[in-house]
Structures are given as structure tokens and as C-alpha cells.
Structure 1
Amino acid sequence: MEIKSNKIDSANATIEATIPKEVVDANIEKIAKELQKTASVQGFRKGKVPVSIVKKQYGEKLVQDAEAEALREVLSKGLEDLSISNEELIGEPNIFKFDKSDDKIEVAVKVAMRPVVELGDYASMVKDFKKPTIKAKDVDARIKSIAESQAPLEDIKRNRKMKDGDTAVIDFKGSVDGEIFEGGTAENFELLLGSGQFIPGFEEQLVGVKRDEEVVVKVTFPQEYQSKALAGKEAEFKVKVNGIKVKGDVEINDELAKTILQGKEDATVEELQKQVKTQMENEELGKLYNDELKPALLESFVAEFQFDLPEFVVEQEIDMALNKSAQTMSEDEIKELRESEKKLNELRDTFREDAQKSVRATFIIDALAIEQDIKVEENEVMQTIYYEAMQTGQDPKAAYDQYKESGYLPAIQMSMVEDKVLSGLLNSKIKEA
């Protein structure tokens, strides 16, 4: 076989070859003889089936297997010529030419290698920064908010007009086009005004209403409402206010600290203040990391570390950007792209620079993770998904299974690795304010 190998750069190579018909024929003979040992054909004992019958029985499948074996040989010899090991390869080889004629097959294959990222003194690129400070008055405000959330609801004695922050105790009956709908009635329901718990516009129309008053609330269900039968429909609710409740006063003392800091029988207000301050500092630090420092650090790495990128990975990233963009296009725009390869390629090129940056960032994070021996195991990914699902009231196992079936787990895992890598670098540069 005539094989020509070409290393385009450190991350991409092509292997071209001409496979003579004789090579494929020889492979067919070899594979047919192997099949002869195990083939089951009616009228012949196992292992005694003539090769000619095996060829007839397996036909085109034999030819495909013989061509595949020849192609594997081309790839193996080509990689050997290029001094590329299988461990260096990423993704599957891309066969971009496979032209068959009577006497030969002309093939061309693209292969991609994992880039070598020279990190150098990357730690020096991470700048010192001051840890966010939390004022005592902000800590006190947070504790007051926590205390108010712990306070019991109490009926107000004076019958005044309701306002945001009040809890209305109501009976209601909802109808659409004069028909009562399922789930639209309740008695003595406690609704916190201003919470956004009900359909937009409902709570606002109760502001200014007094106890024992009856009103008709008119609203329109959102188009994306969970019940398709009600989505976008206008509705009327007959509402009777049975009572008005407000949060009672809660004294901020050691007893409150013990209630909030569960399991600490000797908790004090001072300890509560320390805990709340630490929590608020971590919240501000997390916000600073996610909004500013981590994106800026990664951007500086992408600008600093230059290396060859595997073409097919960049093209995959462009594909994802293109598919996302297509979701906002009209049918006419999509049709125009399908009919014009030039316009499609022009659109793809608009995503190329961002795709290259994204791919470069991925390999940089990968190299830093290896350098620092940072890993995220599958059970960590599972725990993260479970925790977030519980926070939002979802079924944790169902959420995990959905991510797994959709193929999103590797992306989540990579995101967690990135967070660990960048957070670790930043943590080493914190200065107390």
C-alpha cells in the first residue's frame, strides 16, 4: 500500500493512502477462513463449510470488514510514520475521503492529538486581591431578617387595609368563562402579599382590601402556565378576606442564637454574629469569584498560552453555537442557510474565534488540573446534582438520570474541575482587607 503521512501541526495530521484491490481481496480470504471455523450453514457440519459458501453467505459484510481492516492498517502505519501513539489521539479519526474504483480505494483520514500546553510560571499570573469585608450593620440586618423569618404569624387587632408583607387569610373561587376550574378554590388560604406566589396581578389586587371584605380579582394566566387548559386564559376569582396576619416580634438574644445554630446548646448572639459574618463573606467572595476574578483569570490564560488546537474539536464547538443560534431563527432563515453553503460557512466563521477561545480554555484547565492533581469523581457530580435538585424541590435521582441520559455529565464534571482549579489559584492570593 502507498501511504503518505503529513503532520499539519502539533495537534492535527492527515494520512492518505491508496489501497490496492489485492489487499482487500487478501483480507476477504483471511476473514472468510476465520469465519469458516464457526459459521453455521444448513447442510454443512460446523467447521466444514467451504470458503466459497462462507463468501456467498456473508457477501457484502465480508467486503466491509475487509475494507475496515485495510483502513485500520493504513491508520496504524500512518501513525507509526508520524511517531504518534494511540494515547496522544483524541476523538475518532475522521475519514474525509473514501473513493472506490475497480482496482483500488483512495482514502484520506484526519487525526487529532491532545495539545501540549506549556504552562510555565502560571501562578505568577494570578494577582493578589483583598477579601470582601462585611460591615457590622449588614450582619445585624441579616440576623434581623432571619429572626423575622422565625417569628410566628399573629392576627392584627385593628382592621386596616392590607399592604405588601401582610399575610392574607382568604377564601377564593376561580372561574374561566364562568366555569369553576380544578384547583381554583380554597378556604382559609394564607397568602403572603408581595411574595409572587400567585398568578401575576392577583396579590396586587388584594392590597388595600380589609378583613371581611369580598372582591373580584381578574387575572390572565401566563402563556407558559403549567396547565395547558388554563395557559393564556382570562380568569376571575371571587375572594373573601377572613383575616390579616403579620409577623410578631422576635427578640435577638442567646435563645434565638440556639434556635438558629441547631445543635449548639451554648450558642450566643456573638457566636451567631460571627457565623453570619463568615457566611456573608463567603457569599460575597463567591460572587466576586464568579462575576469577576475567575472569568478574568481564565481570559488571561487564554491570551497567554498559545498552542495548536485540534480542528475537529473547534468544529464541534462551532456546531453547538450554530445549533443554539438556529433556535432563534425563523424558518425562512434556516431554509436560506440550507440552500446556500456559502452563507452557512460565513455564519460558521462568525463563531470561530469564540469557539477557539472556548476550546483553548478547556485544554488549559485540563493541563492545570493535571499539574495540580485536581480531579472530580462521578460521585461528586452526583452529589452536586442531588443537592441542587433538593434545593429546587426536584426529585434528585430523576434530575441525575435526566442529565445522564442527555449526555451532560461530562460537561458538568468539567465545569466542576474548572471551578476547583481557578478557585484554588485564587484562594492562594487572598489578602485580608
Structure 2
Amino acid sequence: MSVTETLNEGLKRGYDILITAKELAETVDAKLKEAQPNVEIKGFRKGKVPLAMLKKQFGQQVLGEAMQESVDGAMNAHFETSGDRPAQQPDVKMTNEDWKEGDDVNVSLAYECLPTVPETDFSAIKLERNTVKASDEDVKEAMANLAETAQEFEDKKKGSKAKDGDQVVINFLGKVDGEAFDGGQADDYPLVLGSNSFIPGFEAQLVGAKAGDDVEVKVTFPEEYGAENLAGKDAVFECTVNAVKGPVAAELNDELAKKFGAEDLADLEKQITARLEEEYKGAARLIMKRDLMDALDKLVDFELPEGLVTAEANQIAHQLWHEENPEVEGHDHPEIETTDEHTKLATRRVRLGLLLAEVGQIQEITVTDAEMQQAIIQQAQQYGPNAQQFFEFIQKNPEAQQQIRAPLFEEKVVDYIVENAAITDKEISKEDLQKAVEALED
């Protein structure tokens, strides 16, 4: 076996690998001999099948395996000897397409190397860490919003007309083409007007109704409605208004606090203060992380694999196109061309990604099983009753696991760099924090 270099330009590498017919035949014989003790063929005792018969019956299959193992072995030996780390899956092609058994095997190997990332003095990076204290006004507003979520409804004065925000208690019977349909009937149903919890147009027709009124509500089911037999159909709902109730905000007291798991009102206030400041802390971290990435982008420069940059630019262009065309869910769309702006952003992402990966490897930063489990549980909570299906999907899908692991790894590397950077704490207002967060989106 021989490996001949054909290209060494920047990060690009090319090699011709020659596997002789003799080497291949020896590998085939070795594999057949290894299997021989366990092979049993009619007319021969187990382990006594002649090698020539094994080669005749299984030779072609083993030859294919031997070729693949030989190529893989040559590649692994080359990477171990050279120290190269391919940036992407190498391009491996058999060049003698007219190959037949007994011929040498010629293979071309092409790839781009991962670059050497220069050592960086992170102490040269200067960052501001913003801190925001939850003001009394912020806490009062948050508590008022909490009380609003716990609001109840009380009967309004007799003869009062329902308005948006009121709750109407109704009996209703829905019909399509004069026929009642499944799921279209209920008694004493509490419906908050303006909540948009019913078919579009339904709630608006109950505005102005009084207790005791009979109202005929005419609507059209949406084309994308879940029940196919109703999608796009005109319907009439015969409604009787049993009561009209107005919202009453819950009173902020110890009783309400206990409903939200606090010991008393003072404890609830402490919890809300802590939650607000934790939210501010998270927002401040986003700002500092962007500042850190900007600093690293200016501080560190090295050659990048063209293939990685091109792939990232294509992904950015594709994602932005779908954001601008949300009605297209699949990939049946015109070819999306990348722009200089896409390539510029891709270059930054690839450079910073390689830098963070290198720092993580050098510092032996890892994501623990416990950290992964916690992250998976947090994501699973978003799926409600389908959480178990999400768990099973993650367990069977290494790529999905990596999508969860990657940001966790990145955050831990960022923490390491921040610990070694020059940090100045700065207290700012909530308004200034909000402006800084909004600027991140520009």
C-alpha cells in the first residue's frame, strides 16, 4: 500500500492511495481463515470447509468488505501519521472504474484540514457585565400582572351588555346545512369575549348581548380547521346567554400568594424580585456574549476551510429565505443564492466556532450526562403530553443529541473565556438593558 500526495495548497490536501492486488488477496484470505472455524456447509463438518470452497462461495462478498477495510485503514493510518484533522467528510473515490478482480485498487482522497488555531490571551479582552436591580415599580407591575392572571368573574348588573373582556355563560348548538354536528353543543359554557378561543367572528357577535338573550351566531370554519367535515363550511350557532360577568382582579394578599406557592405576600414579592433579576441577568449575559464574540472576531484571525464557510453561508441563506417566506414549509422552492453578506456572516461564525471548539478541547471542557439530561427535560416540557415521544426521539437520534449538546458546550467555553477576561461590572436601568437587547437584533 502506498500514499502519494497530489495537492498541498493552504488547507486543501489531495492523495492517491494504491492498494495492490496482492495486499487485497491477502486480506481476503485472512478474513476467510478467521471465519473458517465457524462455517458449516452441507457435506462438511463445522470448521472443516476448504478455503477454496469458502472463497468460491463467499469470496465476492468478502472482497468488497476487504476493499472497504483497506481504504479505511489507509485513511486512518494517513491521518494518524500526518496529524491532519479533516474539516468535513473527506471525498474518497475509486479512480480505476474499470477495475476487475486481480487488479490493484487506486483511490483518490481529497479534503480540507482544520486550521491551526493560534493561542489567545483572553486577559486582553475587556468586557462590561451589566447588572440591573428590580425596582419597586417593576415588582409591583409584575405582581399586578400575576393577580390579573388569577382574576375571577362576577355577575354584572342586570341588563348589562357584554363587552370585550367580559365572560358570557352560554348554551349553544351548532349546525351545518341545518344539521347538528359532533362537538357543536354545550351548556353553561364560560366564554371570555376577545379571548379568540372560538372560531373567528364568533365572540364578536356576542358583544352587546344581555343575560336571557338568544343570539344566532353565523360563522365560517377556517379552511385549515382540524375536522375535515367542517373545514371551510358555513355554520350557525344558536346561543342562549345565561349570564354576563365582568372581570374582577384578584386581591394581592397572603391568600393569593399561597395559590402561587409562596408562604405569604412578602415571600411572593421576594420570589418575583429574584425572578425579575434572573431575567435581567440572562439578558445581560446575551449582551456580554455578543461583545465577547465581537472582541474575539477582531482579536483572532486564521485561515478557514472554504468548504465549511460555503456550507455555513448556504445554511444562513436558506434559513433567512424561509424566514422571509414562512408560507413555504418544505424545500420545494427555487435555488437560493448566497450573497457577500451571507459569506461574511458565515466566515465569522466558522472562525468563532473553530476557536471555541479548540479552547474547549485544550481546556478539556465537556458536557456532563446530568447537564444533558436537564437540558432534555427542559425541552421536553414544551411538548406537554408528547414529552415521552420527544425523549424517545432524542435517545435514538445522535444528531438531535448533538444539537442539544453543542449550545451547552459553547456556553461552558464562553464561561471559561469570561473568567479569564477583564470584566467591569456596570449597573444600568431596565430601559437601557431593553435597548441593548433590541440592538442585538439589528
Query: TM-score interval w.r.t. the shorter chain?
Result: 0.7 to 0.9
Counterparts of 1:220-235 in structure 2, within 5 Å, are 220-235=220-235
Kindly state the Cα deviation for residue 154 of structure 1 after the two structures are TM-superposed. Answer: 1.9
Contact kept, 8 Å, 2:213 with 2:240, in 1: the verdict is: yes
Kindly state the Cα deviation for residue 29 of structure 1 after the two structures are TM-superposed. Answer: 3.2
| Corresponding letter in the other structure for 1:305 | V
Secondary structure in 2 aligned to 1:394?
Answer: helix
Q: Name the residue aligned to 2:277.
A: 281
Q: Name the residue aligned to 1:415.
A: 407
Q: Name the residue aligned to 1:136.
A: 136
Counterparts of 1:392-431 in structure 2, within 5 Å, are 393-405=384-396, 407-422=399-414, 430-431=425-426
- What is the root-mean-square deviation in Å for CA atoms of aligned residues? 3.8
Q: Check if 1:61 corresponds to 2:66.
A: no
Contact kept, 8 Å, 1:201 with 1:219, in 2: the verdict is: yes
Check 1:347–1:145 CA distance in 2 against 1; reply closer, same or farther (3 A cut): closer
Q: Name the residue aligned to 2:195.
A: 195
CA distance in 2, matches of 1:13, 1:147: 66
Counterparts of 1:244-393 in structure 2, within 5 Å, are 244-248=244-248, 250-262=250-262, 264=263, 267-269=264-266, 271-290=267-286, 292-302=287-297, 304-309=299-304, 313=308, 317=312, 328=328, 353-370=344-361, 374-390=365-381, 393=384
Contact kept, 8 Å, 1:382 with 1:400, in 2: the verdict is: no
Contact kept, 8 Å, 2:217 with 2:238, in 1: the verdict is: yes
| Corresponding letter in the other structure for 1:211 | A
Check 1:319–1:408 CA distance in 2 against 1; reply closer, same or farther (3 A cut): farther
Contact kept, 8 Å, 2:122 with 2:417, in 1: the verdict is: no
CA distance in 2, matches of 1:154, 1:288: 42
Secondary structure in 2 aligned to 1:14?
Answer: strand
**320-329 vs 56-65, greater mean Cα deviation:** 320-329
**43-52 vs 280-289, greater mean Cα deviation:** 280-289
CA distance in 2, matches of 1:430, 1:231: 57
Secondary structure in 2 aligned to 1:182?
Answer: strand
Kindly state the Cα deviation for residue 187 of structure 1 after the two structures are TM-superposed. Answer: 0.9
CA distance in 1, matches of 2:73, 2:24: 11
Q: Deviations over 1:114-150 (max 9, x none)?
A: 5543351335435214323444223212212222333
CA distance in 2, matches of 1:69, 1:331: 36
| Corresponding letter in the other structure for 1:203 | E
Q: Name the residue aligned to 1:340.
A: none
Secondary structure in 1 aligned to 2:181?
Answer: strand
Counterparts of 1:46-57 in structure 2, within 5 Å, are 46-57=46-57
Check 1:347–1:313 CA distance in 2 against 1; reply closer, same or farther (3 A cut): closer
CA distance in 1, matches of 2:69, 2:383: 52
Check 1:237–1:146 CA distance in 2 against 1; reply closer, same or farther (3 A cut): same
CA distance in 2, matches of 1:206, 1:313: 58
CA distance in 2, matches of 1:68, 1:331: 34
Secondary structure in 1 aligned to 2:385?
Answer: coil
CA distance in 1, matches of 2:18, 2:123: 50
CA distance in 1, matches of 2:168, 2:417: 51
Secondary structure in 1 aligned to 2:127?
Answer: coil
Normalising by structure 2, we get a TM-score of 0.78
**207-216 vs 102-111, greater mean Cα deviation:** 102-111
Check 1:294–1:245 CA distance in 2 against 1; reply closer, same or farther (3 A cut): farther
Contact kept, 8 Å, 2:175 with 2:237, in 1: the verdict is: yes
Kindly state the Cα deviation for residue 58 of structure 1 after the two structures are TM-superposed. Answer: 0.8
Q: Name the residue aligned to 1:178.
A: 178
Check 1:145–1:82 CA distance in 2 against 1; reply closer, same or farther (3 A cut): closer
Q: Deviations over 1:22-64 (max 9, x none)?
A: 3323333333333333332222223332222111101321221
Q: Deviations over 1:342-399 (max 9, x none)?
A: xx9x669996554444433433333444566654334433433433443563332222
Check 1:362–1:199 CA distance in 2 against 1; reply closer, same or farther (3 A cut): farther
Kindly state the Cα deviation for residue 257 of structure 1 after the two structures are TM-superposed. Answer: 3.9
Kindly state the Cα deviation for residue 243 of structure 1 after the two structures are TM-superposed. Answer: 0.9
Q: Deviations over 1:313-352 (max 9, x none)?
A: 5566467568766994999965xx6xxxxxx9x6699965
Secondary structure in 1 aligned to 2:38?
Answer: coil
Check 1:34–1:393 CA distance in 2 against 1; reply closer, same or farther (3 A cut): closer
Check 1:57–1:315 CA distance in 2 against 1; reply closer, same or farther (3 A cut): farther
CA distance in 1, matches of 2:416, 2:243: 54
Higher RCO (CA-CA < 8 Å; seq separation 6+): 2
Check 1:175–1:310 CA distance in 2 against 1; reply closer, same or farther (3 A cut): farther
Gaps of 5+ in 2: 429-442
Contact kept, 8 Å, 1:175 with 1:237, in 2: the verdict is: yes
Secondary structure in 1 aligned to 2:96?
Answer: strand
Aligned residues: 416
Q: Name the residue aligned to 2:218.
A: 218
CA distance in 2, matches of 1:164, 1:422: 48
Normalising by structure 1, we get a TM-score of 0.79
Check 1:119–1:176 CA distance in 2 against 1; reply closer, same or farther (3 A cut): farther
CA distance in 1, matches of 2:217, 2:363: 61
Secondary structure in 2 aligned to 1:415?
Answer: helix
Contact kept, 8 Å, 2:133 with 2:277, in 1: the verdict is: yes
Q: Name the residue aligned to 2:91.
A: 94
Check 1:32–1:142 CA distance in 2 against 1; reply closer, same or farther (3 A cut): closer
Check 1:364–1:257 CA distance in 2 against 1; reply closer, same or farther (3 A cut): same
Gaps of 5+ in 1: 338-343
